[in-house]
Structure 1
Amino acid sequence: MPTSSEPGEGTGSDDGDSGGDDTTPNPVPAPPGPGDLCWDNLTPLGCTTPAPTEPTPTPTQPSYPDTIYNTDLISFTPQEPTATAPNEAMALTNTPLPITLTTTTHSLTGTLLTHPVTVTFTPTGYSLDHGDNTAPTHTADNPATVSHTYAARGQYPTTVTTSYTATVTFPDGIPRPVRGTITITTPGPTIRILAAHTAPVRTTCTTTPAPGC
């Protein structure tokens, strides 16, 4: 005889309610991509924050002096001029002897105030000491020809003082004028002065050469 069921009892059928937990689990966060934050609920996701890039320092430009004096160029020696005289620098007393002086604009390289530089020298004139206790002859020409007459026989060592203006160029390429004149004193030619003498002769030197001709 079939057993009656109590109200509310029975095999029942699934009405869709499984009786489980309705809570949906949190999704697994995706790996961080470029520009994503590396934190989720204050928990690191395993990415590393790139270290800040240090800015490339701007090279410091050296500071060059604007005022340079001739005394600053003590380690730079301009070239010597040439000094030439005719007849192997030989002449007679009371006869003018010309001496020609010449040099050119030229440049030297070196270090000035801890900086590499190029120094350019431009000749502006000469002073020639004749070696016979007379006043030197000054000239601003280049080349220059200086004539001098010696009154007595003998040998006379001459001295030439050459004057230059200068400019200094640092690595920035700007030529800076040097204040003051640069001078260099060098030996000139040694002058040999002869004396002319006459002697009486019986005939002319053309017809009958004799002592004194």
Structure 2
Amino acid sequence: MLKLLAVAAAIIAQINGVTAVPMSNEGCSSDQILLGQCPPAVEIANPGDRIDLAASLSVEGKGNGTWRPKDRATGSPHYSGPPAYVAPPDETDGRNVCLNDQLEVIGTACAEAVEEPAPEEPEERAGPPAVVTLADIASFFPTPPSVATEPDGIGAKNMPLNSVATSSTQTLAGELFGFPVSVTFTPAGFRQDWGDGTVTDSRHGGASWAALGQAEFSPTATSHAYTAKGTYDLTVTALYTAVVDFGEWGTRAVDGLISVPGAARALRIVEVHTALVAHDCVADPAGAGCPGS
């Protein structure tokens, strides 16, 4: 393309009385030629005093430059290249933005280094209260005591009736204040309500006359003599101390005693008269004072 333009320029110059001298633009790359950084391939020599001849050189439509004959003062050809090359804008220039996983703009904070926050320490769980009351452990209920009497269910007016109650240490599991616990109940005493307005307390539940090595109808720590015949309800209550075990949080002793009543026992108190008989009631059930009389 450049060679054809040079030949055409030379022919035109010959026709107009101007000598067109081909010039070599070898050594110029195609990029330099396209950018207008090489002189045209034709030089005009004018033997006269003045010539006003100019031509445009176009290279495949990529920019254009204007050339003129030699300057008479300097002897150098005039050549003005195309306008200064301006690079297209860099599409990566501009403010950085942050994208989420869906490639949506979520801000510009990511343009700076963001320090990862330190992992949060788990909050230390508060322990159980230092004091546990009887009301707090009301849902933990140990087994009531078992109760027996001598004689069994019957007694004589003004004569001791012996009561024997039993209980044992018990441990119950459950939850208290949101913590798994075990509550241990330990027997601490007994309370006997004899049903005639008399209430007695004892450290132990009592024992049979035989176990105590005592004669029948003799007083014991858990006996009572009714002063009137009739029917009475005997209620024996077991008293317990309690200790709550919170595991890693330790134990809490509960202040006070837990009262656990047993089932009431009905007693029939009769009046007894002394009489001389030949045989006892076993040998003579119909004898005086015997049930069969």
Q: Scaled by the length of structure 1, what TM-score is found?
A: 0.62
Number of the residue aligned with 2:171: 107
Say if 1:124 and 1:142, in contact at 8 Å, map to a contact too: no
Max Rg structure: 2
Aligned residue type for 1:105: T
Q: Is residue 83 of structure 1 aligned with residue 159 of structure 2?
A: no
Per the TM alignment, residue 157 of structure 1 is displaced from its structure 2 partner at its CA by 0.6
Structure 2, unaligned runs of 5 or more:
1-115, 208-220
In structure 2, relative to structure 1, the CA distance for the partners of 1:114 and 1:56 (3 Å cut) is same
Q: Percent same amino acid among aligned pairs? A: 33
CA distance in 2: counterparts of 1:75 and 1:177, whole angstroms = 16
CA distance in 2: counterparts of 1:158 and 1:119, whole angstroms = 29
Per the TM alignment, residue 177 of structure 1 is displaced from its structure 2 partner at its CA by 0.7
- Of 150, 154, 164, 2:240 maps to 164
Number of the residue aligned with 2:181: 117
Structure 1, unaligned runs of 5 or more:
1-51
Residue 70 of structure 1 aligns to a residue whose secondary structure is: coil
Say if 1:68 and 1:178, in contact at 8 Å, map to a contact too: yes
CA distance in 2: counterparts of 1:195 and 1:179, whole angstroms = 45
Per the TM alignment, residue 94 of structure 1 is displaced from its structure 2 partner at its CA by 1.5
Say if 1:103 and 1:143, in contact at 8 Å, map to a contact too: no
Residues 164-185 of structure 1 show CA distances to partners (whole Å, capped at 9, x for unaligned) of 1111011316221112222223
Number of the residue aligned with 1:93: 157
**Which is helix-richer, 1 or 2?**
2
- Of 137, 142, 156, 2:200 maps to 137
Q: Scaled by the length of structure 2, what TM-score is found?
A: 0.47
In structure 2, relative to structure 1, the CA distance for the partners of 1:197 and 1:179 (3 Å cut) is closer
The structure whose RCO (Cα within 8 Å, separation 6+) is larger is: 1
Q: Is residue 152 of structure 1 aligned with residue 228 of structure 2?
A: yes
In structure 2, relative to structure 1, the CA distance for the partners of 1:64 and 1:152 (3 Å cut) is same
CA distance in 2: counterparts of 1:105 and 1:155, whole angstroms = 33
Say if 2:164 and 2:205, in contact at 8 Å, map to a contact too: no
Say if 1:198 and 1:212, in contact at 8 Å, map to a contact too: no
- Of 161, 169, 175, 2:251 maps to 175
Say if 2:234 and 2:267, in contact at 8 Å, map to a contact too: yes
CA distance in 1: counterparts of 2:225 and 2:162, whole angstroms = 9
Aligned residue type for 2:233: P
